[in-house]
Amino acid sequence: MEKEALRKELKVSAIENGTVIDHIPAASVFQVINILNLSAFENQILFGTNLESQKMGKKGIIKVRSKFFASDEINKIALVAPTATLIVIKNFEVVEKKKVSIPDKVEKIVKCFNPNCITNHEDVPTRFQVIDKTDLKLRCHYCAKITAKDSMTFKS
Amino acid sequence: MEKEALRKELKVSAIENGTVIDHIPAASVFQVINILNLSAFENQILFGTNLESQKMGKKGIIKVRSKFFASDEINKIALVAPTATLIVIKNFEVVEKKKVSIPDKVEKIVKCFNPNCITNHEDVPTRFQVIDKTDLKLRCHYCAKITAKDSMTFKS
């Protein structure tokens, strides 16, 4: 019987209290980990990637025990994982479930596309206004150049 | 009963076939992920970090489905995770279990400590001979300088 249970589809175990980030595009899981800076956490964390998903083909999932993210903290991941669902678990029950949403401002995590921008030459954190949320476009606070989805790179 | 099962210690599910890397120091889990270049894999992967371990306090575990690593591939992780155990699973059974061991040679993943080394100025992959496995010391193939454990940094 134990073995039967194990034969079920590979999955990531439940958590009692904390946050589940589901429906992450498989290709973005490690970017999400970087954006959330999970390697610095002392919480128990479970990840799975390249898991089967009826909706998405391949997906990733991240579970962080005893951690409840602020909206602006979690919404940063919408840049690389717009399909992600945020699920808040308390005592094994889902108490909140919502889509992540692209934030109005983006700080630090994205590089400015303009090679001449001060943020690419001095130790100045980047700051952008999101001017198009559908067809992702960010305007740099410093040089006013637009960094669009296709030319977006992330600070490691 | 379902709920009872869930209340058990947070754990990472079993895999049918593949490799489990257990007893990774929690602080090294993301370095191991980088060294093995897991973000480029299309295999299903499960990770857990900051899990309770009687032996180690906090540990990490990585499970890669349908992947069997060559010894020289996996032994690279001994540099950051000397306590790691490699477990090969076939049809849910453990068919091999061993400690990782420090390799004789290290290529690419470690930076040479010598700022004047050619590998720090040109696009030349690093190459080292491991001259001390207990008190980790690597001799650079190009400049012959010794990179020791305390001054070791990893290429991202």
Residue given tokens 């894999």 in the structure block:
B41
> Minimal Cα distance from A52: which residue of B?
B44
Is there a contact between A154 and A30 (Cβ–Cβ < 8 Å)?
no
Element (H, E) at A49: strand A45-53
Q: Shortest Cα distance from A144 to chain B (angstroms)?
A: 31
Task: Classify strands A93-99 and A105-107 as parallel, antiparallel or unpaired.
Answer: unpaired
CB-nearest partner of B51 from A11, A33, A44? A44
C-alpha A65/C-alpha B49 separation (Å) is: 11
Q: Is the dihedral of CA A69, A75, A76, A78 positive or negative?
A: positive
| Region label for A100, one of left (φ > 0), alpha (ψ between -120 and 50) or beta (otherwise) | beta
User: Contact A127/A140 with Cβ under 8 angstroms?
Assistant: yes
pLDDT of residue B102: 92
CA distance, residue B105 to nearest chain A CA (Å): 28
**pLDDT digits 0-9 by tens, B86-100:** 999 999 999 999 999
Residue B39 has pLDDT above 70, yes or no: yes
Q: In what order do the strands lie in the sheet with B127-132?
A: B105-107, B127-132, B137-140, B146-148
Residue B5 has pLDDT above 70, yes or no: no
> Residue B111: which of B145, B74, B83, B87 has the closest Cα?
B145
Pairing of strands B18-25, B45-53: unpaired
pLDDT tens for B98-149 read 999 999 999 988 999 999 999 999 999 999 999 999 899 999 999 999 999 8
Query: Cβ of A30 under 8 Å from any chain B Cβ?
Result: yes
Q: B142 CB near a chain A CB, below 8 Å?
A: no
The rounded mean pLDDT for chain B is: 89
pLDDT in tens, A10-31: 456 778 899 999 999 999 999 9
Q: Of A39, A125, A132, A22, give the one whose Cα is nearest residue A79.
A: A132
One-letter amino acid at B80 equals V
Does the global pTM surpass 0.90? Answer: no
Q: What confidence score (pLDDT) does residue B25 get?
A: 95
Q: What is the ipTM of this complex?
A: 0.81
Cβ distance of B14 and A6 shorter than 8 Å: yes
pLDDT at residue A9 in the model: 42
Residue pair B107/B76 in contact by the 8 Å Cβ criterion: no
CB contact under 8 A, A65 and B6: no
Calculated CA dihedral for residues A46, B23, A27, A47, nearest 10 degrees: -10
Q: Are the CB atoms for A96 and A88 separated by under 8 Å?
A: yes
Predicted pLDDT of residue B138? 96
Residue A49 at interface with chain B, using a CB cutoff of 8 Å = yes
Pairing of strands A85-90, A57-65: unpaired
Q: d(Cα A57, Cα A50) in Å, to the nearest integer?
A: 9
In chain A, which stretches have pLDDT less than 50? 1-10
pLDDT at B8 over 60: no
State yes or no: pLDDT of B17 exceeds 50: yes
Indicate the residue of B7, B45, B46 with minimum beta-carbon distance to A16: B7
